Structures are given as structure tokens and as C-alpha cells.
Amino acid sequence: MDAYTGFAQVYDLFMEDVPYDCWCRQNVSVLKEYGIRKGIVADLGCGTGNITERMAGLGYDMIGIDSSEEMLEIAQEKNLKNGNHVLYLCQDMRSFELYGTCAAVISRCDAMNYILTKEDLISVFRLVNNYLDPGGIFLFDCNSVHKYETVLSDNTIAENRENASFIWENYYDPKTHRNEYDLTLFILDEERKEDEKRRFLRLMETHVQRAFTLDEIKEAAKKAGMIWREARDTETMSAADQNTGRYLIILQENGKHSKKSK
């Protein structure tokens, strides 16, 4: 089953507590540290545009990239409502194409955990490196092995709202570092919401993610030709350690030369 089809309808409802504003502040802070205060920024795995739209509102020329048409439809609605001029592209991050280079590429909310093999991770890094301006930054977060082992593990999570609910059954394999969760959604049928007995539609999706160790990410970056800069803890913004649940990784473009350096 494809991920983010039925879930797209209620994604923002169940993600309302995600600290998007905080993550945008982190993005801007890191980009400024590396001298990037404006320009084109591509958002890989942009989903419904929560980060993309906020970054556009802060003055960046945004490109949102996601493989889910359903998620992008919602993002585009926000784009029109906000009066932004974000370019949304329905593409797989493992094979995305742009018309030119970007000052930075970002990816938040564990989108990179949907990359399941080292080979694909290298492919994403190579593409990012190719589409970055000289010295440009790739800033992305990802869940750690520690989080999958100690927080998600083999747990079941459920949430109930007035018009929707979900059951999340999680399975984690410590040998392969693959995390699979079966998501069962119950969504109010909008066409019959005024009926005396409201009807809920039952939808199911399976999501598969993978945790990479910092050493594996460093190795992939090196093979892709990128420069490893640092790994931070998204909660504290200090250096990541063994208890970090979500890494914030910073890689830098390598191989191009700006006119100023010639």
C-alpha cells in the first residue's frame, strides 16, 4: 500500500503539535551560520508544505519536492491561500530534477528515514550535491537508532479526534534498523457528515523507514562527494550524542568553485 494517500487527508490534524516554527528557526539560524540569508531553497519530502510555506514567508524562494500527489495538493492549496510563489514538484527524492542550483536544500520531519538503502542514500546525496550552489548546505533531520529502539520499538499508538482517529502499530528490527508501521485510519465521510449516524471511512497504509547511524551517514556523504560538517540534537541544538532521538545533519557542497574563488 502506498504511504501518504489516505493519511494526507488528516496529516495536518494529527501533526498539529509538531514544532514547525521551531524547526524553521533552526533552519534559518544554520543557514545564516553558513552565510546563506536568501536565495533558492529546495525542501525534500515537503509533504503538505508546513515547512516550505513558512520558509517562503521568511523570504526564501522555495521549491517543494514530494512523491505524494495527495500531500502536494494540500500544499498547493496553502500556497494559493498564503499568496506565496512556491514551486511544488511531484518527484522522488532519489531521482529529483531541478532547472538550476539552490543556495540550500533542506529536509525535515524524518523524510530522509524513508530512504531504505545505503545506495539510495548515496544517490540522494549526489543529487543534492549536484544541485547546490558552490558551498551550499544540505540540512536534514532523521530519527536515530536510539529513538526507534527505545521510543517507537514494538509499540502501538492511538489517537482519537472528533472527525478522525488512527491506530499505529509499530515494528522495529534491530538487526536491519528497519522500522515498519501499519497505520489504520478512520476518517469522517464528509458526504454523509450531516446524517443522523455519521459514517467513518476505514483506510490502511504501511510505512517503512530506516535508521542510519552517524557513521553510515558520514560514509554515504563521503562517497557522494559531499563534505560532512556536523550532527546536532534537534532538541538542544548541541552536538548529537548516543541519547539523541532526532539528528540534525549538516552537509556541504563539494566540487564546484564560485567565480569569487577563481
Q: Which superfamily is assigned to 12-144+211-261 in CATH?
A: Vaccinia Virus protein VP39 (3.40.50.150)
Q: Where are the domains of the chain?
A: 12-144+211-261, 147-210
Listed range (6-15, 22-31, 78-87) with the worst mean pLDDT: 6-15
pLDDT mean across residues, the chain: 92
Which range has the top average pLDDT, 51-60, 159-168, 189-198? 51-60
Looking at domain 147-210, its CATH class is mainly beta
Write the CA distances from 187 to 199, 205, 259, integer angstroms: 8, 13, 54
Amino acid symbol at 148: Y
d(CA 233, CA 183) in angstroms, rounded, equals: 28
Mean pLDDT, residues 34-48: 96
Q: Does the pTM exceed 0.85?
A: yes
E strands, 45-131, are 61-66, 87-90, 102-107
Predicted pLDDT of residue 203: 87
**In which band, very low, low, confident or very high, does the pLDDT at 262 lie, cut at 50, 70 and 90?**
very low
Question: For 221-255, what is each residue's pLDDT tens digit?
Answer: 999 999 999 999 999 999 999 999 999 999 999 98
Q: Do domains 12-144+211-261 and 147-210 have the same CATH topology?
A: no
d(CA 169, CA 188) in angstroms, rounded, equals: 21
Predicted pLDDT of residue 3: 60
d(CA 166, CA 157) in angstroms, rounded, equals: 8
Q: What count of residues does the chain have?
A: 262
Question: For 83-142, what is each residue's pLDDT tens digit?
Answer: 999 999 999 999 999 999 999 999 999 999 999 999 999 999 999 999 999 999 999 999
Question: For 182-197, what is each residue's pLDDT tens digit?
Answer: 989 888 876 665 666 7
